[in-house]
Amino acid sequence: MGKSRVLVLGATGYIGKYIAKASAQLGHPTFILVRPATLDSSKKELLNSFTAAGITILHGDIGDKESIVAALKQVDVVISALGMPQLLDQLNLIKAIKEVGHIKRFLPSEFGTDVERVSKIKAIQSVFHPKVEIRNAIREAGIPYTFVSSNGFIAYCASFFFKENLQVPPSDKVTIFGDGNVKAIFVAEDDVGLATIKAIDDPRTLNKQLVIRPKTNILSLNEVVELFEKKIGHNLEKNYIPASVIRAQLDELPFPDVIFPAFAFSVFVNGDNLFELGPEDVQATELYPDLEFTTFSSALDTIV
């Protein structure tokens, strides 16, 4: 049997582009669904890079059943990396997958922490409720799935810790949430793409959650900052935001301003990344020992 044919939705988004390119890199016939408006947008260069990688661009929209069904008929596996505003649009996708009947794996838009184990914080729940609804709809429809818990993206997180422009080292200050000692998990975006694609044809990940937890990247914010200080050769001024201050923001800030403090509280105060694994969880590092996960330390070498 040949490689599964893969359709990626949300391929022009943050993590979607890594997934689409990993699919092509690992030899899968790869398709992306792009809205016509995107073709004339600032993402033209990205679309050209997809074409250069051998990825087929299909025109359509998740809200257009005809274009979705037409795309599904060309593939075996569907991966959604749609952003927050489109999460519930995946209900249309689930109906279409059920209708065509031959899709052998669906990976919905997740790529964070486990949405069913996260802290019961109102702001977090409002963000994650659509993802939980999609999980339930997939199970109810009997569609074969894999959920991906990929935790924090290294480059994306570093942009908050240090400097918005990742090509420039930080000045002399860094923000640390809580006491900085709570461990979190960080994964390079390229590695998220590769691990995700390795899972799509793997029977061990069928109807399971793939958890990406490189041991070298289970770090506290204090450890992350220490790594950076060693790279740049001097200490940074640390601005600690106490857990009590972040917790108060959860009650005071309006939506959507409350989202970032809620995630900071969840990950760096409650430690929601490091939940206990259960029988429905499989670890990428154990399944794919050949995949050399980028360490946080080596990722920082590209920034300094």
Active-site residues, by number, are 131
**Interatomic CA distance for residues 195 and 287, integer angstroms:** 9
DSSP type of residue 106: E
Dig out the tokens for 148 from the structure: 């991906």
Nearest to 160 by CA among 273, 241, 42: 241
Residue with tokens 């570093």: 158
238: helix, strand or coil: strand
Phi, psi (degrees; rounded to nearest 5) at 130: -60, -35
Task: Please answer whether residues 161 and 225 qualify as being in contact, where contact means their C-beta atoms are separated by less than 8 angstroms.
Answer: yes
Q: Degrees (nearest 5) of the Cα angle 243, 221, 288?
A: 125
Residues in the chain: 304
Side chain identity, residue 254: P
| Helix ranges, 143-188 (H) | 154-161
| 141 sits in which H/E element | helix 122-141
CA distance 259 to 270: 15
Beta-carbon contacts of residue 133 (< 8 Å; ≥ 6 apart): 88, 91
Assess contact for 280 and 116: CB atoms under 8 A. Answer: no
